[in-house]
Structure 1
Amino acid sequence: MAATGKLSARKVATVKEPGRYGDGGNLWLNVGPTGAKSWLVRYRFQGRARVMGVGSVDLVSLAEAREKALAARKLLAGGIDPMDHRKRQFEASAMDAARAITFETAAESYIEAHEAAWRNGKHKGQWRSTLKTYAYPVFGDRPVADVDTDLVLKAIEPIWSSKSETASRLRGRIESVLDWATARGYREGENPARWRGHLQNILPAKSKVQKVEHHAALPYAELPAFMEALREQVGTSARALEFAILTVARTSEVLGATWDEIDLDRDGGAVWTIPADRMKAGKEHRVPLPPAAARIVQDMGTMFGRTGYVFPGQRKGKPLSNMAFLMLLRRMGRGDLTAHGFRSTFRDWVAETTSYPSEIAEQALAHIVGSAVERAYRRGDVFEKRRALMADWARSVNQ
């Protein structure tokens, strides 16, 4: 090993000629063409020459540079490449910083990353609301790497029996955030919110504690009188609910209906084609419109024009509010009912008063029918049979 201490603090401060000046012990002062000065540690590792920068002269003194060179020589003596060692240290520090990310920050990042794929605009709000109410107060400010089974249970156990559906969704959302954090390198190990093989051994199954709640439905025998009262109501909300009942479509499907989905001039009768990205099952759904439903659409076009939403809200370019049907039913003195419940009314009517096969009714409701194998072989949507069914349904409700 060459002698060390060849440079002095004065030499370092005054030298101006570009070049490299050795201090010994692998340490070199590098003076660049512009006069900038920095420290280099030059060495060989496994027969390969390497040069490692250890800082600017403005930031690292001669004494400090010698300490860095000494540390590098000790690593070399132990068979360790100083540059590889430093790289690993940087990576470890970056990982430690990443792991300091809080659960709330991870959750918000997850929501932002996935909201574009969520078909329902309410989904983002529901995700954030659930986590903000139940998870953030418990471990929102904790590093996501530190979230363990005890913390997850602390958030979901208090509502597991009293609000089983909410608790189940909360658990699933925590699990998704933690999976995302693991994939991004913010945490390691098993997911403490995982149900199968983990929390299922700690908590009772949701089916054991869940109170079954059905959407309030009107008996089909009372529907004609209700429809008569509904037709007396003025406003877009009333026409949209009437349309929803006649088509047995979901509320979100009706409120989001646009004119480019409607074909009033189709041979054989009007058709409403709902694209896959607006359907719960993620599959395009064609709805045969009975004459009464087609007339409602025509009236909407006369009132508002045939562009944008079929049932526009008060705000320009926006559909009716998700609360429109609920508020309408309350104004009618029927707060005991829900819009979704009319789908149950339809299902009861089909089963008890008609001879239509069950699968035809299920197709009309846009439910998934049969196993995956059965669906693969049955590619049609029994459209013409559904048109006959919906015509009979419209006549029944409009008696």
Structure 2
Amino acid sequence: MKAPIPTRQRLTNRVIDEVCSLSADERARRYWDTTVPDLCVQFNAKRTGRPSFMLRYTKLDGTDGDYSIGSVDKIAIDSARTEARRLLNDLHAHGIDPVEARREAREEAKAPKLKTFGDLAVAFMAAKAEQRPGQKPLDEVFFLNRYVLPVLGSRKFDKVTAQCVEDLVIAVKNEVGARHRRKGANGKTTANACHRAIKRVYKWACKKEVATKNPADFPPLFEIKREKRRGRLTEERFAQFWADLSGRLYSMSSPKPGLLAILLFLLTLQRPIDVARAIRSHINLSKRMWIIPEDYTKTGHEYHVPLSDPVARLLRIVMSIADGEMLFPSNRANGPHMDEHSLTTGWIRARRRLIKAGLLDDEDVELYDGRRFGRTQIRAKLGFSNDVAEAVINHVGQQHEGARLYDVEEMLPHMTEAHLKWGEEVERMTGANCLA
């Protein structure tokens, strides 16, 4: 009777051929190499077919792991030993688990190869759309598709320089300014928006470690000078608008979302678009905080909005009406949330009612004056610094580009105090417990 082949010996091509020639019931499942003791020739559970070289190793958590090096028909025993030694060295010297490393390599191979700026932009837009299911596309999508991609789309993303971005931004400004489609249009706003879109694409790419630098990381080229609107909204006018809006709110059998949205805008001083697309899961009433992620904001920065007592009361009313994720769902087919222009429309109607009633003698009072008025009161009347007032309205101006002027961790207590004081000021102007 022929002696069985030892399961531990120096593996050679002859030994491997010999164990492969055995019938399934004669052979063991594993035959170990004595030169590299963690290397073996392994048959499957039924001991059928040709075997593979397998490395048995101890994982970082102390459990055993098996790594398949390859079939004996495709890899020579010497190559299998060399690969086993390399894997063991990487594991012990660098903590690299061979199975995890292979999985990551396969995932990386499956990932789309991003070579051009167009590739980056498409991946950026897809990632943001996935993070914001059901939401309208970011503003950057229009500017990228309309102005940026036709120029930079085919250029390798690592060959886009600051000069390339500057040339494009200037060209957009000149193109839009030459059309004069809108009275007073000079192209500066569109040019800055294109610049901001490019910057956000590279910011995302750097965060994903696809790109190593952001060629658009410089301040806006064009300063937008807007007329100062001081005094358009006073304490008296604020109280008049509040009385009209809240009065209509309580006169209805079912509170109208548009009116609630305007009141939330006046209380939090956040941008109309941020109020219109407010999401339930972003708001924590128990911690009195509304955190708007960077993917949902105009500036690409995360916003922290501390909630005062009247804001918390108003949000409880809103949440009792809206049963979905959107606090102000759209009643049309143009999107999942209320259009920000609905707030402007509601404000205009309130203004018309006040003028008709003889309570307001000036038509030039805009919705956004509420945000300007609140910021001014926080600084000039309530005594907070300009930085705190800017932080309360989450304003990111030119001096903030590239880095926030303030650190949220450091500024948040001051922001919280300012929001609370503003809530008390609104109650004082409009009547105690204004949303009881």
TM-score relative to the length of structure 1: 0.51
CA offset at residue 328 of structure 1?
A: 1.5
For residues 269-328 of structure 1, the C-alpha deviation after alignment (integer angstroms, 9 at most, x for no partner) is: xx64212526664254321222xx4443444355455x6444343269943222220221
Seq. identity, %: 16
CA contact (8 A) 1:220 1:349 kept: no
- Residue of structure 2 aligned with 1:288, choices 285, 299, 308: 308
What is the CA–CA distance in structure 1 between the aligned matches of 2:267 and 2:124, rounded to whole Å?
39
Q: Which residue of the partner structure matches residue 168 of structure 1?
A: 192
CA distance in 2, matches of 1:180, 1:262: 27
- In 2, distance between residues paired with 1:181 and 1:382? 31
What are the superposed Cα offsets for residues 219-242 of structure 1, whole Å, 9 maximum, x if unpaired?
333111121222244521012211
C-alpha distance in 2 between matches for 1:180 and 1:359: 27
Take 2:222 and 2:135, find their aligned partners in 1: how far apart are those partners?
Answer: 27
Q: How does 1:205-354 map to 2 (within 5 A)?
A: 205-207=221-223, 210-212=224-226, 218-234=233-249, 235-255=256-276, 256-258=278-280, 261-263=283-285, 272-277=288-293, 281-282=301-302, 284-290=304-310, 293-304=311-322, 308-314=325-331, 318-333=336-351, 336-354=364-382
* Secondary structure of 1:275 counterpart: strand
Structure 2 partner of 1:28: none
Q: Are the equivalent residues in 2 in contact too, given 1:245–1:343 (CA < 8 A)?
A: yes
CA distance in 2, matches of 1:332, 1:377: 39
The residue that corresponds to 1:158 in the other structure is 175
Confirm or deny: 8 A CA contact 1:156 1:171 kept in the other structure: no
In the TM superposition, residue 182 of structure 1 has moved relative to its aligned partner by 12
User: How far apart in 2 are the matches of 1:172 and 1:385?
Assistant: 30
| Change over 3 Å in CA distance of 1:233–1:285 after alignment to 2 | same
What's the CA shift string for 1:59-97, capped at 9, x where partnerless? xxxxxxxxxxxxxxxxxxxxxxxxxxxxxxxxxxxxxxx
Letter in 2 for 1:341: D
Cα 1:246–1:128, aligned 2, differ >3 Å: closer, same or farther? closer
CA separation in 2, counterparts of 1:367 and 1:119? 26
Distance in 1 (CA, whole Å) between partners of 2:145 and 2:275 is 30
After superposition, residues 13-32 of structure 1 pair within 5 angstroms as none
1:111 partnered with 2:125: yes
Q: Secondary structure at the match of 2:307?
A: strand
- Which residue matches 2:79? none
Tell me how far apart the structure 2 counterparts of residues 355 and 283 of structure 1 sit (CA, whole Å): 22
Tell me the distance in 2 between the aligned counterparts of 1:183 and 1:285. 25
Please report how far the alpha carbon of residue 194 of structure 1 lies from its aligned counterpart in structure 2 after TM superposition: 5.1
Whether the aligned pair in 1 keeps the contact of 2:288 and 2:312 (CA below 8 Å) is no
The residue that corresponds to 1:396 in the other structure is 429
Q: Is the 8 A contact 1:309 1:318 kept in 2?
A: yes
Q: Note closer, same or farther for the CA distance 1:132–1:247 as it changes in structure 2 (3 Å cut).
A: closer
Aligned residue pairs total 277
Q: Give, in angstroms, the shift of residue 374 of structure 1.
A: 7.3
The two structures have a TM-score, normalised by structure 2, of 0.48
* Cα gap change, 1:297 to 1:114, in 2 (>3 Å): closer
Q: What pairs with 1:59-74 in structure 2 (closer than 5 Å)? A: none
Which secondary structure state, in structure 2, belongs to the residue aligned with residue 321 of structure 1? coil
2:146 to 111, 133, 136: 133
Is 1:144 aligned to 2:155, yes or no? yes
Q: Contact 1:350/1:361 (CA < 8 Å) preserved in 2?
A: yes
Please give the alpha-carbon distance, in whole angstroms, between the structure 2 residues aligned to 1:244 and 1:183. 32
> Does the C-alpha gap of structure 1 residues 220 and 261 become closer, same or farther in structure 2, counting only changes over 3 Å?
same
- Aligned equivalents of 1:329 and 1:158: distance in 2? 34
Per the TM alignment, residue 245 of structure 1 is displaced from its structure 2 partner at its CA by: 0.9
Q: Match for 1:365 among 386, 393, 396?
A: 393
Counterparts in 2 of 1:366 and 1:119: CA distance versus 1, 3 Å = farther
Q: Is the 8 A contact 2:289 2:307 kept in 1?
A: yes
Q: Taking structure 1 as reference, are residues 135 and 313 closer, same or farther at Cα in structure 2, changes over 3 Å only?
A: closer
Partner residue in 1 for 2:43: none
User: What SS does the corresponding residue of 2:143 show, helix, strand or coil?
Assistant: helix
Q: CA deviation at 1:396?
A: 1.2
Q: Residues 388 and 415 of structure 2 are in contact (CA less than 8 Å); yes or no, is this contact kept in structure 1? A: yes
**SS across alignment from 1:285:** strand
Indicate if the aligned counterparts of 1:275 and 1:284 stay in contact, CA closer than 8 A: yes
Greater CA deviation, 383-392 or 142-151? Answer: 142-151
Relative to structure 1, is the Cα distance of residues 164 and 120 closer, same or farther in structure 2, using a 3 angstrom cutoff?
A: farther
1:351 positional shift: 4.0
Question: Radius of gyration: which is bigger?
Answer: 1
Matches of 1:397 and 1:155 in 2, distance apart? 46
Contact 2:173 2:187 in 1 (8 A): no
Deviations 1:93-114 (A, max 9, x none): xxxxx99x88656643442245
Alpha-carbon separation, structure 2, partners of 1:194 and 1:247: 32
**Can you give the 5+ residue segments of structure 2 that lack an aligned partner in the other structure?**
1-112, 178-184, 250-255, 353-362
